[in-house]
Amino acid sequence: MSEFRCEHARQDASFFFEPTRTFDAWELRWLLDYWQGLCDGRDCPRLIDVGLPAIVRQAPKIIVRDAIDGGQDFVNRFWGSELRNWLGFDGTGQRISEYFPQHARAAMLNSQRLALESDMPVRRWGVTAYPQSNLATYEAIDLPLADDNGARAHVLSMYVYRSDRLDAQPDAAPLPAETGNASSWDARSRHNAES
């Protein structure tokens, strides 16, 4: 397990990540089951396999990141609205190196590289790293996704935030019959090694 202690948050605030299949939040366990169902004999599904209608009820908690230069950085292709509400900004189209607080950036990039390269899901948990955001604990799952050619090129993440200050209720899980694919996702934030 990797640990990162956040210098600009509360003294006891920590950012942890580890490869595991164990998650506390049911939403994260649901996403892991959904992702595994898409693998179809491969080590990870392709981005195009992810059905937006199948995850629509959880989409506000999701970020899809594109790897740049094999994981040297990551750009946010999709940034869920619940993340915008919790963190106070919309990270769509931004690179981790541009917006993630400097004191936690290296750990975040390492966790995303681990998710991209590992055959095991990555669990992250801790306290929000953004000084302007609601102080809240979170648990997140990071899962690799392949491009159309089968090369790992994306990370699918879901965040579940908890705060005693807010009266947040969990969302209903997506219905199994809901289908679709990621081709309907906005590609405006696509970046590649040349950009």
Residue ranges of domains in the chain: 2-169
pLDDT for residue 168: 46
Q: What is the pLDDT of residue 28?
A: 96
- pLDDT of the residue at 10: 33
Rounded distance between C-alpha atoms, residue 113 and residue 52, angstroms: 24
C-alpha to C-alpha distances, 191 to 43, 62, 68, 125, nearest whole angstrom: 24, 19, 7, 27
Considering the segment(s) 2-169 as one domain, its CATH architecture is 2-Layer Sandwich (3.30)
Supply the pLDDT for residue 185. 38
Single pTM value for the model: 0.78
What is the structure's pLDDT at 8? Answer: 32
Computed on alpha carbons and rounded to an integer, the radius of gyration of the chain in Å comes to: 16
pLDDT of residue 137: 83
Three-state DSSP state, 76: strand
Residues of the chain with pLDDT under 70: 1-14, 129-134, 164-195
Q: pLDDT at position 110, please?
A: 95
Distance CA 6, CA 96 (A): 16
Q: Which pLDDT score, from 0 to 100, does residue 131 have?
A: 58
Q: Which two tokens stand for residue 63?
A: 């970020």
